[in-house]
Amino acid sequence: MEPGSTGSVITEDPTLKRRRICIRMPNPEVRKGMPSVQLTREEFVRRCRARYVDPAYKALDREIEVIIVAAWDAYSHSRKAPNTRKAGPGFSDPEYEIAIDWFAARDAVLEAQRRHDDAAETPRILIINGSSRSEHTCPGEMSKTWRLVKVAGPVFAEMGFAVDLLDLSRTTSEFGKNIHPCKACVSTSVTLCHWPCSCYPNYALGQTDDWMNEIYPMWVAAHGIMIVTPVNWYHAPTPLKAMIDRLVCADGGNPDPSSTHGKKVAEAKAIELNGWSYPRHLAGRHFGIVVHGDSVGAETLRRSLSDWLTDMHLISAGNFAETDGYIGYMEPYATSHEALDDDAAFQEEVRNVARALGNAVRLDLAGKFANPGSGLVDPRPK
């Protein structure tokens, strides 16, 4: 590693026959030339004030100034989680203070898992609308994805499932529905990535209203997940990709933030190197996928989504449960809804995805779904 570089190095100690973790930080001279993320008070105030440009706030200038003073105090003292309580029994360090928001998310996940495992509960299907487009904002009309979700929903209802809808277009059209970016803690150490995510909310940085604490339980409660999405420039739409990134904690994440005392890097690495089981918190659920486009990229995204879900140990409901195609191929955008109206075959393919997924869940719950990989141990579980 070059002098002054950042990162970590794992070295072998031939005497102790164990790994040592060296956390490398920039030396003081190099740090002097690094940009700082710490804002000046003037810049902080300017950014806060930018939120209140509406003339309706003019009469509240004094009150806004008081709020900004309090916000600066929270920011300058890095009060990410101002409300905490002791971890308590069942945690590695019962005395460690954990954010109350995290406990609320954890309790919702545990309750969702209880409902998922309760044979007396109606099995659930989660349908995800991956489009960011809706008639409630700039586009001025509903998305084709939304219409396809409405094609699939009745199929599950007729099969006797409870249906939950996760409409990701709400991130663009509804106040307070945010999916903040993943900070990639897992790339430092998987045990630094907590399940559910403990990175948000961050009150010091104003990173609040994070929707993921409501989304995690929806995934956990589901027996089957059906993703319906358009393809945007060969990739997943922004809110869908944000959710995918934030679900990394479901794939090997650490359910005990006290074990790493929050985000203590050295502690997290030591735990992982001592042996980590990489718990797959969503394993065994079944999935179906519908990807549609108008010119390019639908198959690429469908394969990527399938690979992602399979890597998390979810199970495809089979060939009929994964489909991609084009609606109004290379035709004008302005007539795309008419093209969907005319494409009865694609609509039927969407229904078949729902039928195949519903059948897979039924077979699984009846103990008749034979998973060839059941009981096998992955020798490299990362």
Q: What is the pLDDT of residue 382?
A: 75
pLDDT bucket at 182, cuts 50 / 70 / 90: very high
pLDDT bucket at 254, cuts 50 / 70 / 90: very high
Residue pair 130/169 in contact by the 8 Å Cβ criterion = no
* Closest alpha carbon to 109 in 199, 222, 201, 200: 222
* Distance of alpha carbon 75 from the chain centroid: 26
pLDDT bucket at 37, cuts 50 / 70 / 90: confident
Q: Which tens digit of pLDDT belongs to each residue from 101-132?
A: 999 999 999 999 999 999 999 999 999 999 99
pLDDT bucket at 373, cuts 50 / 70 / 90: confident
At position 192, the amino acid (one-letter code) is L
Q: Which tens digit of pLDDT belongs to each residue from 41-61?
A: 999 999 999 999 999 999 999
Rounded distance, CA 9 to CA 23, Å? 7
What is the C-alpha radius of gyration for the chain, rounded to an integer number of angstroms? Answer: 24
Q: What tokens does 251 get? A: 């794939």
How far are the Cα atoms of 74, 189, 353 from residue 206, in angstroms, in the given order?
10, 26, 40
Residue pair 360/371 in contact by the 8 Å Cβ criterion = no
Q: What tokens does 301 get? A: 């995204």
The DSSP secondary structure of 92-151, one letter per residue, reads: SSTTSEEEHHHHHHHHHHHHHHHHHH-TTSPPEEEEEE-----TTSTT-S--HHHHHHHH
Residue 224 three-state SS: strand
Contacts with 43 (C-beta within 8 Å, 6 or more apart), sequence order: none
Q: Which tens digit of pLDDT belongs to each residue from 333-357?
A: 999 999 999 999 999 999 999 999 9
Phi, psi of 357 (to 5 degrees): -65, -45
For all residues of the chain together, what is the average pLDDT? 92
Question: What is the helix (H) or strand (E) element at residue 322, kind and residue range?
Answer: strand 322-326
How many residues belong to the chain? 382
